[in-house]
A and B are shown apart, each in its own frame.
Chain A
């Protein structure tokens, strides 16, 4: 059974289609990355899935519950870290978690042991009685993640959890998220525009732009499905005639040249030696040849650019 299933889910604000006929499935137990540039509809999608907003058309089921008719059931079984951490800055860390534990009807003993269980691995337990107002943003984000897990939810929504954090704090939070996801065994629906984050954390990713789903699959699938393997050749002696002959080669799907380097997307990376032979034959003095598959960032940028050009 899927944790999340949407069918042609749509929501507009005036003329703006924030979510446009979104159909997707998120299997239980996965860390699902929902990628998209700012304003692409990620936050609206989370709000629709939590039943905080009503869809204009289509429908969604979360943990088997209809988000329009049974939103309270969805929220009972989920945790959410939304755009803002939403912590009470005048209260201590323990009081923040305790309040949310009370909301989920946990007993005092359960709340106390759960607070310890969550804060110790995050390195925050010793500081649990401090008001959090003066804590760093990274510490507050960690605490907010702990808050989403306090009641052992089946599904957790994390809306750009590392946004606004410095690289060190982001990396630390990512590690904590990976650890908690494994330890808690929950389904995580993570929105981000940080591709490295998605690549490190997610089993499945979807790319959304202008509210529309562009692609869905594992990071590896996406790379193989949407990007050609790439060949980087550095050296001297590239002539315009040679560049034209390379462009004419059916093995080369696209290419660009800059600063003594030629970058080619190949249809078959295993035949890259043919290109190298062609270049040597044409008199190029090769310094370096490097083959690699495009990373998720290349895939993402390409998809978004194509969609923006209306080719998607």
Chain B
């Protein structure tokens, strides 16, 4: 098979694909074509889309490849599609961020960081398939530990979890270490 054919086929596959497709998936479908060629072709397609400022771009997201519209065209696409994209409130975003960076994490641990009840938000995130229960924590009550899903990566255009924006270090302005017991707000709040 000619290299140009491979490229053409892969472009077709990307066009019909539901969701990001792994390199492995292309290797399976195009049996006989080696992995390196497919990878190179994908990269070529990617840079072509970018260089020619095409209306669709090939992005690496959630461990796979997917065609997505160019960001600059967002307004036109929105106008064309009509309707409003689902809005994500601050509470949802904050909770999601905590879970993303601290996974696996329990609901109580998220609440300790946010200082507010997150029951409703967790339910919404579960419903939207952005988080899932990954295990149970071995503490009394065996609460669920939550982690993010591939849909989370897709939503935020992330290749994988290591590509999360780095958490800003705010520790440098922390108080000097003073020996002795700290006052515990948790104890305080229980009273």
Do A and B come from the same complex? Answer: no
